[in-house]
Amino acid sequence: MPRSSHGTNQHEEQEASVRPFWSGTITFGLVSIPVNLFPANRESRVALRMLGPEGEPLSREYYSSESGKDLESAETTRGYEVREGKYVTVSDEELERLSPEKSRDIDLRVFVKRDEISPLYFKRAYFLAPADKSGKAYRLLAETMERTGRAGIATFVMRGKEYLVAIFAERGILRAETLRFSDEIRTPRAVGLPEKRKEPPKAMVRRFESVIAKTTRKTLDLKEMRDEYSEGLLKLAKKKHLHHKDVVGIHPSKKRPENVVDLMEVLKRSLDRSGKKSKQAA
């Protein structure tokens, strides 16, 4: 149980700072397309640290709730609770044997209509960028999937774990969404929703239609969807720091980069360069 204790342009410079954290190959049929995987999301909420009475950052350690003894990491093991108070321990070697076979393939198993995949299953978003001069095949796959309105269902192994993903094509760019498995999704019935729906009164339907029509927009500006809590917290912290109020002796954290990299722009430039190279080669 854890316990607390005491000479290039700007675009090229930004691109150089962006590194894929996984590389592999999209495979289906006899087609192979090398790609790089980039996370499409980033955590932007303001982080808070737990501090001690003197302003010192606290770390987390393990201790036994039965004996109160502090434990080193080497003394711990993993266990699965089979019933209350009874655990089956699992060694690192056993976990290693259960791990999926290491592979660099994104195995595209089937294509389906995009609306067949409910957003309920979406877990985390990624961008797929062409690698190793695969721009031509990448563009062809993206354009074909986008034109036919289809998404691909695939599996791939990353960091010793197998993931189920849906691959979408949008504006010539491939995007992957890791998916939750079916047993991770609750049904409407499980949360008390009725199986059969009754027809609402027509007057109420017209009233709702009128309200929706008044608040409907042609386009959505996602920049309006701000995290007001984080903004307020950051403003409060800066104000306190400026007035030297409640400032304690903790070490300053690393500064965030001033330039935020737009991954969509990076991918577009990568695709443009791949297209130019293909034309030159031809």
* C-alpha–C-alpha distance, residues 62 and 65, integer Å: 9
Name the region of 132 (left: φ>0; alpha: ψ -120 to 50; beta: rest): left
Q: How far apart are CA 46 and CA 226, in angstroms?
A: 13
Q: Name the CATH topology of 25-43+102-189.
A: Ku70; Chain: A; Domain 2 (2.40.290)
Crossing angle between the packed helical segments 10-17 and 263-281, to the nearest 10 degrees: 100
pTM given for the model:
0.65
Identity at 41, one-letter amino acid code: N
DSSP state letter for 189? G
Kindly give, in sequence order, each residue whose CB lies less than 8 Å from that of residue 1, ignoring residues fewer than 6 positions away. Answer: 62, 63, 64, 65
pLDDT of residue 53: 85
For the chain, domain boundaries:
25-43+102-189
Distances (CA, A) of 162 to 45, 90, 100: 28, 19, 6
pLDDT, tens digit, 9 for 90 and up, residues 14-45: 444 567 888 999 999 888 999 999 998 877 67
- Residue 166 near residue 152, CB atoms below 8 Å: yes
CB of 67 within 8 A of CB of 128? no
Q: Sheet with 2-5: list strands edge to edge.
A: 2-5, 59-63, 70-71
Q: Which regions of the chain are under pLDDT 50? A: 3-16, 254-256, 258
* Cα–Cα distance measured from residue 101 to residue 237, given in angstroms and rounded to the nearest whole number: 48
Per-residue pLDDT tens over the stretch 58-68: 888 888 888 88
